[in-house]
């Protein structure tokens, strides 16, 4: 059974997010790459069980400023052709949508999301997320749903919050991997967009984090198991 997850990082933060801490508990090893630091992305081999593409400060519509995203997009296209499980988180989901031909752009009224916002299932029967689900967001861009993909979740400010393409491609605009420690680091950033429209006050973020982060953790760890373990078992 393939055992290696390739993690494409867009930041140099500690690897204490829920994907980095939980996937090894499921029996996977993580190979992490940082294209923004000049690292080349690897060839896929028989031991590759899947790919996680993280969030970060770069934006898809700013590839002239972040040219490594062009090479990364070509690599993602290769991964899609290989039909291995790919999970994109925030910028990672935006890159997936871009490679699949969908638009990625700022909010038409300049709004941003930084805090914990409600994410609602598109089809309650599918139960992609439970009712009254609040997850961490930190972004100023949003994606359209690619042709042939299924919209899974919606939000108020950025309507498209998650999509699936076939069985092996999943993207979320929100950050289910975010822990309280990560949220605290983001809150302390000099570039934290406190005065931008749509952004929650620090007090509201703290209140919602206390209410909802445990549920998001449980949900995301189950998703990682369902998405990567189930898909990997199907390849045996």
Instruction: Provide the annotated active-site residues.
Output: 90, 175, 177
The C-alpha atoms of residue 201 and residue 150 are separated, in whole angstroms, by 33
- Sort residue 157 into left (φ over 0), alpha (ψ -120 to 50) or beta: alpha
Report yes or no: 213 and 179 within 8 Å, Cβ to Cβ.
yes
Query: How is residue 3 written in tokens?
Result: 């055992």
Quick check: 31 and 5 in contact, CB under 8 A?
A: yes
Longest CA–CA span in the chain (Å) reads 51
């Amino acid at each position: 059974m393939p055992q290696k997850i390739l993690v494409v990082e867009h930041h140099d933060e500690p690897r204490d997010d829920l994907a980095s801490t939980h996937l090894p508990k499921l029996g996977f090893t993580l190979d992490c790459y940082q294209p923004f630091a000049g690292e080349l992305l690897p060839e896929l081999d028989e031991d590759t069980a899947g790919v996680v593409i993280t969030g970060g400060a770069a934006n898809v519509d700013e590839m002239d400023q972040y040219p490594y995203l062009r090479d990364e997009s070509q690599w993602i296209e290769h991964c899609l052709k290989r039909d291995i499980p790919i999970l994109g988180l925030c910028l990672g989901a935006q890159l997936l949508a871009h490679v699949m031909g969908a638009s990625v752009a700022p909010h038409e009224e300049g709004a941003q999301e930084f805090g914990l916002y409600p994410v609602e299932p598109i089809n309650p029967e599918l139960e992609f997320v439970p009712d009254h689900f609040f997850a961490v967001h930190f972004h100023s861009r949003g994606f359209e749903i690619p042709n042939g993909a299924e919209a899974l979740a919606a939000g108020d400010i950025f309507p498209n919050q998650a999509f699936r393409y076939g069985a092996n491609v999943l993207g979320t605009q929100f950050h289910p991997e975010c822990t309280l420690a990560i949220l605290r680091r983001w809150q302390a950033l000099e570039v934290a967009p406190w005065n931008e429209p749509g952004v929650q006050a620090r007090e509201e973020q703290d209140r919602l984090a206390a209410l909802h982060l445990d549920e998001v953790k449980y949900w995301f760890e189950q998703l990682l198991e369902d998405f990567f373990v189930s898909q990997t078992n199907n390849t045996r």
